[in-house]
Amino acid sequence: MAPRWFLALALTALVLGAAPAGAQTLLRVFVGGQNQRPDLMRQLFARYMASHPGVRIESESGGATSDLQRQYLSTVLNAKDPALDVFLVDIVNPAQYDGAGWTEPLNAYLGDPAAVMQPYLAAYAEADVVQGRIAALPAFADAMFMYYRRDLLEKYRLPPPRTWAELGQAAQTIQAGERNPRLQGLSVQGAPIEGTVCTFLLPYWSQGKALTDTAGRLTLDHDAAARGLQQWLDLVATGVVKRNVAEVKTQDTVNEFKAGQVVFGVGWSFAWDRLNNDSDSQVRGRVGVMALPAMHGGKRVSCLGGWQWTVSAYSRHKAEAAALVRYLASAEASKYLAIGGALLPTYPGLYADADVLRALPWLADAAEGVLAGRSRPATPDYAQVSDAIRTTTSAVLAGVKTPEQGVRQIGSRLARVLR
Protein backbone atom coordinates (compact mmCIF):
# COMPACT_ATOMS: atom_id res chain seq x y z
CA MET A 1 0.00 0.00 0.00
CA ALA A 2 1.42 3.39 -1.01
CA PRO A 3 2.29 5.87 1.76
CA ARG A 4 -0.17 8.70 2.37
CA TRP A 5 2.36 11.37 1.33
CA PHE A 6 2.80 9.64 -2.08
CA LEU A 7 -0.98 9.53 -2.71
CA ALA A 8 -1.33 13.19 -1.75
CA LEU A 9 1.51 14.18 -4.10
CA ALA A 10 0.04 12.17 -6.98
CA LEU A 11 -3.41 13.72 -6.45
CA THR A 12 -1.89 17.21 -6.43
CA ALA A 13 -0.07 16.48 -9.72
CA LEU A 14 -3.29 15.36 -11.39
CA VAL A 15 -5.20 18.41 -10.19
CA LEU A 16 -2.48 20.69 -11.57
CA GLY A 17 -2.55 18.88 -14.91
CA ALA A 18 0.91 17.34 -14.53
CA ALA A 19 0.58 13.63 -15.27
CA PRO A 20 2.83 11.10 -13.56
CA ALA A 21 6.12 10.44 -15.33
CA GLY A 22 5.64 8.45 -18.50
CA ALA A 23 1.85 9.03 -18.64
CA GLN A 24 0.99 11.62 -21.26
CA THR A 25 -2.09 12.57 -23.23
CA LEU A 26 -1.29 12.68 -26.93
CA LEU A 27 -3.16 15.35 -28.89
CA ARG A 28 -2.99 15.39 -32.67
CA VAL A 29 -3.59 18.75 -34.35
CA PHE A 30 -4.17 19.64 -38.00
CA VAL A 31 -2.67 23.09 -38.58
CA GLY A 32 -3.59 23.71 -42.23
CA GLY A 33 -1.18 24.77 -44.96
CA GLN A 34 1.71 27.21 -45.25
CA ASN A 35 -0.56 30.26 -45.17
CA GLN A 36 -1.60 29.25 -41.66
CA ARG A 37 2.06 29.28 -40.55
CA PRO A 38 2.42 25.76 -39.13
CA ASP A 39 5.94 26.70 -38.02
CA LEU A 40 4.55 29.28 -35.60
CA MET A 41 1.78 26.95 -34.45
CA ARG A 42 4.41 24.38 -33.50
CA GLN A 43 6.19 27.02 -31.45
CA LEU A 44 2.93 27.65 -29.59
CA PHE A 45 2.58 23.91 -29.04
CA ALA A 46 6.09 23.82 -27.56
CA ARG A 47 5.16 26.61 -25.17
CA TYR A 48 2.03 24.80 -24.11
CA MET A 49 3.81 21.48 -23.55
CA ALA A 50 6.47 23.21 -21.44
CA SER A 51 3.78 24.29 -18.98
CA HIS A 52 1.69 21.11 -19.39
CA PRO A 53 4.10 18.17 -19.09
CA GLY A 54 1.17 15.76 -19.09
CA VAL A 55 0.35 16.68 -22.69
CA ARG A 56 2.23 15.79 -25.86
CA ILE A 57 1.19 17.44 -29.14
CA GLU A 58 1.79 16.12 -32.63
CA SER A 59 0.85 18.21 -35.65
CA GLU A 60 0.25 17.64 -39.30
CA SER A 61 -0.13 20.15 -42.11
CA GLY A 62 -1.18 20.15 -45.72
CA GLY A 63 -3.51 21.60 -48.32
CA ALA A 64 -2.56 24.85 -50.04
CA THR A 65 -6.15 26.14 -50.05
CA SER A 66 -9.18 26.14 -47.79
CA ASP A 67 -10.99 23.83 -50.24
CA LEU A 68 -8.22 21.22 -50.22
CA GLN A 69 -8.02 21.31 -46.44
CA ARG A 70 -11.80 20.92 -46.18
CA GLN A 71 -11.69 17.90 -48.50
CA TYR A 72 -9.08 16.22 -46.31
CA LEU A 73 -10.93 16.97 -43.06
CA SER A 74 -14.22 15.80 -44.58
CA THR A 75 -12.65 12.43 -45.37
CA VAL A 76 -11.30 12.01 -41.84
CA LEU A 77 -14.43 13.21 -40.07
CA ASN A 78 -16.92 11.39 -42.29
CA ALA A 79 -15.15 8.21 -41.23
CA LYS A 80 -15.54 9.21 -37.55
CA ASP A 81 -11.80 8.78 -37.28
CA PRO A 82 -10.39 9.80 -33.86
CA ALA A 83 -6.95 10.40 -35.40
CA LEU A 84 -7.37 14.19 -35.04
CA ASP A 85 -8.22 15.94 -31.79
CA VAL A 86 -8.01 19.58 -32.89
CA PHE A 87 -8.08 21.18 -36.33
CA LEU A 88 -8.11 24.58 -38.03
CA VAL A 89 -11.02 25.64 -40.24
CA ASP A 90 -11.86 28.71 -42.31
CA ILE A 91 -14.23 31.29 -40.82
CA VAL A 92 -17.08 30.11 -43.07
CA ASN A 93 -16.84 26.49 -41.82
CA PRO A 94 -17.82 26.26 -38.11
CA ALA A 95 -21.57 26.16 -38.82
CA GLN A 96 -21.04 23.55 -41.55
CA TYR A 97 -18.94 21.31 -39.30
CA ASP A 98 -21.32 21.77 -36.38
CA GLY A 99 -24.28 20.87 -38.60
CA ALA A 100 -22.52 17.71 -39.71
CA GLY A 101 -21.86 16.73 -36.08
CA TRP A 102 -18.09 16.87 -36.60
CA THR A 103 -17.20 19.33 -33.86
CA GLU A 104 -17.51 19.06 -30.11
CA PRO A 105 -19.51 21.95 -28.57
CA LEU A 106 -17.16 23.72 -26.17
CA ASN A 107 -19.72 25.18 -23.74
CA ALA A 108 -19.18 22.48 -21.13
CA TYR A 109 -15.43 23.13 -21.13
CA LEU A 110 -15.32 26.92 -21.54
CA GLY A 111 -18.57 28.33 -20.14
CA ASP A 112 -21.25 30.76 -21.29
CA PRO A 113 -20.90 31.58 -25.02
CA ALA A 114 -21.55 35.31 -24.57
CA ALA A 115 -18.85 35.62 -21.92
CA VAL A 116 -16.40 33.43 -23.82
CA MET A 117 -16.73 35.38 -27.08
CA GLN A 118 -16.90 38.87 -25.55
CA PRO A 119 -13.12 39.61 -25.73
CA TYR A 120 -12.84 38.83 -29.45
CA LEU A 121 -13.68 40.86 -32.53
CA ALA A 122 -17.47 41.02 -32.56
CA ALA A 123 -17.96 39.17 -35.85
CA TYR A 124 -16.48 35.97 -34.41
CA ALA A 125 -19.42 35.53 -32.03
CA GLU A 126 -21.60 35.28 -35.12
CA ALA A 127 -19.26 32.94 -36.98
CA ASP A 128 -18.21 30.62 -34.14
CA VAL A 129 -21.37 30.25 -32.04
CA VAL A 130 -24.05 28.11 -33.68
CA GLN A 131 -27.50 28.02 -32.06
CA GLY A 132 -25.95 28.69 -28.68
CA ARG A 133 -23.12 26.17 -29.13
CA ILE A 134 -19.49 27.29 -29.20
CA ALA A 135 -18.33 25.44 -32.30
CA ALA A 136 -14.90 27.08 -32.55
CA LEU A 137 -12.58 29.77 -31.18
CA PRO A 138 -10.62 32.27 -33.31
CA ALA A 139 -7.01 31.44 -34.13
CA PHE A 140 -6.14 34.56 -36.12
CA ALA A 141 -8.03 37.15 -38.08
CA ASP A 142 -8.04 38.39 -41.65
CA ALA A 143 -9.98 41.10 -43.45
CA MET A 144 -10.28 42.86 -46.77
CA PHE A 145 -8.56 46.23 -47.06
CA MET A 146 -8.15 48.95 -49.63
CA TYR A 147 -4.55 49.19 -50.79
CA TYR A 148 -3.63 52.33 -52.70
CA ARG A 149 -0.74 54.10 -54.36
CA ARG A 150 0.20 56.62 -51.71
CA ASP A 151 2.66 58.33 -54.06
CA LEU A 152 0.00 58.94 -56.71
CA LEU A 153 -2.53 60.36 -54.25
CA GLU A 154 0.17 62.69 -52.93
CA LYS A 155 1.18 63.67 -56.47
CA TYR A 156 -2.38 64.75 -57.32
CA ARG A 157 -3.06 66.11 -53.82
CA LEU A 158 -5.94 63.75 -53.21
CA PRO A 159 -7.02 62.49 -49.76
CA PRO A 160 -7.71 58.78 -49.26
CA PRO A 161 -11.35 58.34 -50.37
CA ARG A 162 -14.00 57.48 -47.81
CA THR A 163 -16.75 56.54 -50.30
CA TRP A 164 -16.78 54.53 -53.49
CA ALA A 165 -17.91 57.63 -55.39
CA GLU A 166 -14.89 59.56 -54.10
CA LEU A 167 -12.65 56.65 -55.08
CA GLY A 168 -14.05 56.67 -58.61
CA GLN A 169 -13.39 60.40 -58.97
CA ALA A 170 -9.87 60.13 -57.55
CA ALA A 171 -9.05 57.18 -59.81
CA GLN A 172 -10.24 59.03 -62.91
CA THR A 173 -8.15 62.07 -62.00
CA ILE A 174 -5.02 59.94 -61.62
CA GLN A 175 -5.68 57.88 -64.73
CA ALA A 176 -6.15 61.04 -66.80
CA GLY A 177 -2.98 62.57 -65.40
CA GLU A 178 -0.80 59.51 -65.80
CA ARG A 179 -1.97 58.75 -69.37
CA ASN A 180 -1.06 55.10 -68.95
CA PRO A 181 -3.62 52.90 -70.74
CA ARG A 182 -2.67 49.93 -68.55
CA LEU A 183 -3.29 51.76 -65.27
CA GLN A 184 -6.45 50.49 -63.56
CA GLY A 185 -8.27 52.80 -61.21
CA LEU A 186 -9.57 49.94 -59.05
CA SER A 187 -8.93 46.20 -59.02
CA VAL A 188 -11.63 44.11 -57.34
CA GLN A 189 -12.36 40.39 -57.58
CA GLY A 190 -15.13 39.32 -59.96
CA ALA A 191 -14.28 35.76 -60.98
CA PRO A 192 -16.56 33.04 -59.54
CA ILE A 193 -14.36 32.63 -56.43
CA GLU A 194 -14.96 33.08 -52.71
CA GLY A 195 -13.60 36.63 -52.78
CA THR A 196 -16.45 37.60 -55.09
CA VAL A 197 -18.93 36.76 -52.34
CA CYS A 198 -17.35 39.69 -50.52
CA THR A 199 -17.55 41.81 -53.70
CA PHE A 200 -21.31 41.31 -53.55
CA LEU A 201 -21.60 41.83 -49.79
CA LEU A 202 -19.40 44.91 -49.29
CA PRO A 203 -21.68 47.54 -50.87
CA TYR A 204 -24.76 45.67 -49.60
CA TRP A 205 -23.55 45.64 -45.99
CA SER A 206 -22.41 49.26 -46.35
CA GLN A 207 -26.06 50.25 -46.79
CA GLY A 208 -26.84 48.81 -43.36
CA LYS A 209 -28.34 45.60 -44.72
CA ALA A 210 -27.95 42.00 -43.56
CA LEU A 211 -28.29 38.86 -45.64
CA THR A 212 -29.72 36.75 -42.80
CA ASP A 213 -31.24 37.37 -39.38
CA THR A 214 -30.02 35.93 -36.09
CA ALA A 215 -31.98 32.74 -36.75
CA GLY A 216 -30.31 32.29 -40.14
CA ARG A 217 -33.38 33.23 -42.19
CA LEU A 218 -32.92 35.09 -45.46
CA THR A 219 -33.38 38.88 -45.22
CA LEU A 220 -32.17 39.91 -48.67
CA ASP A 221 -33.07 43.50 -49.59
CA HIS A 222 -33.37 43.30 -53.38
CA ASP A 223 -33.11 47.04 -54.02
CA ALA A 224 -30.00 47.47 -51.88
CA ALA A 225 -28.34 44.43 -53.46
CA ALA A 226 -29.07 45.71 -56.98
CA ARG A 227 -27.65 49.13 -56.09
CA GLY A 228 -24.46 47.47 -54.89
CA LEU A 229 -24.02 45.51 -58.10
CA GLN A 230 -24.84 48.56 -60.21
CA GLN A 231 -22.10 50.47 -58.43
CA TRP A 232 -19.48 48.03 -59.77
CA LEU A 233 -20.92 48.29 -63.28
CA ASP A 234 -20.81 52.10 -63.08
CA LEU A 235 -17.11 51.92 -62.20
CA VAL A 236 -16.58 49.64 -65.20
CA ALA A 237 -18.46 52.08 -67.45
CA THR A 238 -16.24 55.00 -66.39
CA GLY A 239 -13.06 53.00 -66.98
CA VAL A 240 -12.10 52.83 -63.32
CA VAL A 241 -12.55 49.04 -63.21
CA LYS A 242 -11.40 47.03 -66.21
CA ARG A 243 -14.01 45.42 -68.43
CA ASN A 244 -12.91 41.83 -67.81
CA VAL A 245 -13.44 42.21 -64.05
CA ALA A 246 -15.48 38.98 -64.14
CA GLU A 247 -12.18 37.15 -64.69
CA VAL A 248 -10.20 38.83 -61.89
CA LYS A 249 -9.03 36.59 -59.04
CA THR A 250 -7.35 37.52 -55.77
CA GLN A 251 -3.81 36.91 -57.00
CA ASP A 252 -4.50 38.89 -60.17
CA THR A 253 -5.12 42.00 -58.09
CA VAL A 254 -1.89 41.44 -56.14
CA ASN A 255 0.23 40.77 -59.22
CA GLU A 256 -1.10 43.73 -61.20
CA PHE A 257 -0.71 46.05 -58.21
CA LYS A 258 2.87 44.86 -57.77
CA ALA A 259 3.51 45.64 -61.43
CA GLY A 260 2.41 49.24 -60.94
CA GLN A 261 -0.81 48.81 -62.91
CA VAL A 262 -3.34 49.56 -60.13
CA VAL A 263 -4.16 52.74 -58.18
CA PHE A 264 -6.61 51.15 -55.71
CA GLY A 265 -6.88 47.43 -54.99
CA VAL A 266 -9.15 45.37 -52.73
CA GLY A 267 -7.21 42.58 -51.04
CA TRP A 268 -6.67 40.46 -47.95
CA SER A 269 -3.97 41.12 -45.35
CA PHE A 270 -1.33 38.90 -46.99
CA ALA A 271 -1.13 41.41 -49.87
CA TRP A 272 0.69 43.93 -47.67
CA ASP A 273 3.87 41.84 -47.56
CA ARG A 274 3.63 40.92 -51.24
CA LEU A 275 3.31 44.56 -52.31
CA ASN A 276 5.97 45.94 -49.99
CA ASN A 277 8.48 43.14 -49.57
CA ASP A 278 8.53 40.98 -52.70
CA SER A 279 11.70 41.52 -54.73
CA ASP A 280 9.73 41.92 -57.97
CA SER A 281 7.34 44.56 -56.60
CA GLN A 282 7.51 47.83 -58.53
CA VAL A 283 5.67 49.74 -55.80
CA ARG A 284 7.66 48.96 -52.67
CA GLY A 285 7.51 51.79 -50.15
CA ARG A 286 4.75 53.57 -52.08
CA VAL A 287 1.71 51.63 -50.84
CA GLY A 288 -0.89 52.81 -48.35
CA VAL A 289 -3.65 50.83 -46.68
CA MET A 290 -7.02 51.89 -45.30
CA ALA A 291 -10.50 50.67 -44.50
CA LEU A 292 -12.72 50.00 -47.49
CA PRO A 293 -14.87 52.93 -48.66
CA ALA A 294 -18.61 53.12 -48.02
CA MET A 295 -21.60 53.57 -50.28
CA HIS A 296 -22.91 57.15 -50.30
CA GLY A 297 -24.68 57.73 -46.99
CA GLY A 298 -23.56 54.32 -45.69
CA LYS A 299 -20.88 53.07 -43.33
CA ARG A 300 -17.48 51.56 -43.96
CA VAL A 301 -17.43 47.80 -43.60
CA SER A 302 -15.08 44.93 -44.41
CA CYS A 303 -15.37 41.23 -45.12
CA LEU A 304 -13.84 39.39 -42.18
CA GLY A 305 -11.80 36.25 -42.71
CA GLY A 306 -9.52 34.22 -40.51
CA TRP A 307 -9.11 30.72 -39.10
CA GLN A 308 -10.72 28.96 -36.18
CA TRP A 309 -9.70 26.19 -33.77
CA THR A 310 -12.17 23.34 -33.32
CA VAL A 311 -12.26 20.13 -31.31
CA SER A 312 -13.20 16.93 -33.11
CA ALA A 313 -16.40 15.23 -32.00
CA TYR A 314 -14.49 11.95 -32.31
CA SER A 315 -11.52 12.93 -30.14
CA ARG A 316 -10.83 10.58 -27.24
CA HIS A 317 -9.42 13.50 -25.24
CA LYS A 318 -12.02 16.23 -25.57
CA ALA A 319 -11.35 18.01 -22.26
CA GLU A 320 -7.61 18.17 -22.92
CA ALA A 321 -8.24 19.28 -26.51
CA ALA A 322 -10.58 22.05 -25.32
CA ALA A 323 -7.96 23.27 -22.86
CA LEU A 324 -5.41 23.43 -25.66
CA VAL A 325 -7.82 25.34 -27.90
CA ARG A 326 -8.50 27.82 -25.10
CA TYR A 327 -4.76 28.54 -24.93
CA LEU A 328 -4.33 28.71 -28.72
CA ALA A 329 -7.16 31.26 -28.86
CA SER A 330 -5.81 33.33 -25.96
CA ALA A 331 -4.63 36.94 -26.17
CA GLU A 332 -1.10 35.72 -25.46
CA ALA A 333 -1.17 33.38 -28.46
CA SER A 334 -2.83 36.00 -30.68
CA LYS A 335 -0.12 38.53 -29.89
CA TYR A 336 2.60 35.94 -30.50
CA LEU A 337 1.22 35.11 -33.96
CA ALA A 338 0.87 38.78 -34.85
CA ILE A 339 4.43 39.70 -33.92
CA GLY A 340 6.02 36.51 -35.24
CA GLY A 341 4.01 35.95 -38.39
CA ALA A 342 1.96 39.08 -39.21
CA LEU A 343 -1.22 37.07 -38.55
CA LEU A 344 -3.89 39.57 -37.57
CA PRO A 345 -5.01 39.59 -33.91
CA THR A 346 -8.47 38.40 -32.93
CA TYR A 347 -8.60 40.76 -29.94
CA PRO A 348 -9.54 44.43 -30.61
CA GLY A 349 -7.19 45.70 -27.91
CA LEU A 350 -4.13 44.26 -29.64
CA TYR A 351 -4.56 46.69 -32.54
CA ALA A 352 -3.40 49.41 -30.14
CA ASP A 353 -0.71 47.27 -28.46
CA ALA A 354 2.71 48.92 -28.65
CA ASP A 355 4.58 45.67 -29.29
CA VAL A 356 2.22 44.64 -32.08
CA LEU A 357 2.38 48.07 -33.75
CA ARG A 358 6.16 48.07 -33.50
CA ALA A 359 6.23 44.81 -35.46
CA LEU A 360 3.34 45.72 -37.78
CA PRO A 361 3.17 49.53 -38.05
CA TRP A 362 0.74 49.30 -41.00
CA LEU A 363 -1.94 48.02 -38.61
CA ALA A 364 -2.35 51.58 -37.31
CA ASP A 365 -3.97 52.42 -40.66
CA ALA A 366 -5.59 49.01 -41.18
CA ALA A 367 -7.22 48.63 -37.77
CA GLU A 368 -10.40 50.47 -38.76
CA GLY A 369 -10.97 47.93 -41.53
CA VAL A 370 -10.62 44.96 -39.19
CA LEU A 371 -12.82 46.46 -36.49
CA ALA A 372 -15.49 47.10 -39.13
CA GLY A 373 -15.35 43.49 -40.31
CA ARG A 374 -18.45 41.34 -40.69
CA SER A 375 -18.63 37.58 -41.18
CA ARG A 376 -20.28 35.91 -44.11
CA PRO A 377 -23.52 34.04 -43.34
CA ALA A 378 -23.09 31.33 -40.71
CA THR A 379 -25.02 28.36 -42.05
CA PRO A 380 -24.44 24.60 -42.44
CA ASP A 381 -25.25 25.14 -46.13
CA TYR A 382 -22.66 27.84 -46.71
CA ALA A 383 -21.18 26.08 -49.76
CA GLN A 384 -24.50 26.51 -51.58
CA VAL A 385 -24.84 30.10 -50.37
CA SER A 386 -21.36 30.90 -51.63
CA ASP A 387 -21.97 29.27 -55.00
CA ALA A 388 -25.20 31.18 -55.56
CA ILE A 389 -23.61 34.54 -54.77
CA ARG A 390 -20.23 34.25 -56.44
CA THR A 391 -21.36 32.69 -59.70
CA THR A 392 -24.27 35.10 -60.16
CA THR A 393 -22.23 38.15 -59.17
CA SER A 394 -19.59 37.15 -61.71
CA ALA A 395 -22.29 36.80 -64.37
CA VAL A 396 -23.58 40.31 -63.61
CA LEU A 397 -20.07 41.75 -63.81
CA ALA A 398 -19.59 39.97 -67.13
CA GLY A 399 -22.74 41.64 -68.47
CA VAL A 400 -24.59 38.35 -68.87
CA LYS A 401 -27.29 39.45 -66.39
CA THR A 402 -28.55 42.82 -65.19
CA PRO A 403 -28.20 43.63 -61.47
CA GLU A 404 -31.95 43.13 -61.03
CA GLN A 405 -31.86 39.74 -62.76
CA GLY A 406 -28.85 38.71 -60.72
CA VAL A 407 -30.43 39.67 -57.43
CA ARG A 408 -33.62 37.81 -58.29
CA GLN A 409 -31.57 34.70 -59.06
CA ILE A 410 -29.54 35.01 -55.88
CA GLY A 411 -32.71 35.54 -53.85
CA SER A 412 -34.43 32.55 -55.43
CA ARG A 413 -31.49 30.22 -54.83
CA LEU A 414 -30.89 31.40 -51.26
CA ALA A 415 -34.59 31.09 -50.41
CA ARG A 416 -34.37 27.38 -51.20
CA VAL A 417 -31.16 26.93 -49.19
CA LEU A 418 -31.97 29.05 -46.13
CA ARG A 419 -35.45 27.73 -45.38
Residue 14 has a pLDDT of 28
Query: Is there a contact between 104 and 312 (Cβ–Cβ < 8 Å)?
Result: yes
CA dist 184 and 341 (Å) reads 31
Q: How far is CA 292 from CA 15, 33, 352, 367, 402, in A?
A: 49, 28, 20, 11, 25
Q: Average pLDDT, stretch 272-290?
A: 96
Amino acid 214: pLDDT = 84
Q: Are 85 and 317 in contact (CB under 8 A)?
A: yes
Tens of pLDDT, residues 160-174: 999 999 999 999 999
- Taking residues 35-49, report their average pLDDT: 96
- Domains observed in the chain: 24-142+305-367 (3.40.190.10), 144-303+376-417 (3.40.190.10)
Question: What is the number of other CB atoms lying within 10 angstroms of the CB of residue 198?
Answer: 26
Confidence of residue 22 (pLDDT cuts 50, 70, 90): low
pLDDT computed for residue 361 by the predictor: 96
pLDDT at residue 287 greater than cutoff 80: yes
Supply the angle between the helices 382-397 and 222-237 in degrees, to the nearest 10.
40
Mean pLDDT, to the nearest integer, of 76-105?
96
> Is 80 exceeded by the pLDDT of residue 69?
yes
- Give the model's confidence band at 419: pLDDT under 50 very low, under 70 low, under 90 confident, else very high: confident
Element at 212 (helix H, strand E): none
pLDDT per residue over 178-213, tens digit each? 999 999 999 999 999 999 999 999 999 999 999 999
pLDDT of 230 > 60? The answer is yes
Burial 384-407 (b: 16+ CB within 10 A, else e): ebbebbbbbbbbbbbeebebeebb
Contact 379, 216 (CB under 8 A): yes
**pLDDT reading at 18 higher than 60:** no
> What's the mean pLDDT in 267-272?
95
Residue 417's pLDDT band (cuts 50, 70, 90): very high
The 3-state DSSP class for residue 399 equals coil
- CA-CA distance, 397 to 197, in Å (whole number)? 13
The mean per-residue pLDDT over the stretch 1-11 comes to: 30
Question: What CA–CA distance (Å, rounded) separates 334 from 193?
Answer: 28
Compute the mean pLDDT over every residue in the chain, rounded to the nearest whole number: 93
Report, as an integer, the average pLDDT of 351-379. 95
Query: Quick check: 343 pLDDT over 70?
Result: yes
Spatial CA neighbour of 337 closest among 41, 136, 123: 41
pLDDT tens track for 110-169: 999 999 999 999 999 999 999 999 999 999 999 999 999 999 999 999 999 999 999 999
Distances (CA, A) of 188 to 168, 260, 394: 13, 15, 11
pLDDT at 284 over 50: yes
- Per-residue confidence (pLDDT) for residue 365, from 0 to 100: 94
CB 410 within 8 A of CB 390: no
pLDDT at position 66: 86
Q: Is 395 helix (H, G, I), strand (E, B) or coil?
A: helix
Q: Provide the CA 223 distance to its chain's centre, in angstroms.
A: 27
Torsion angle in degrees (nearest 10) through CA of 217, 221, 226, 231 = -100
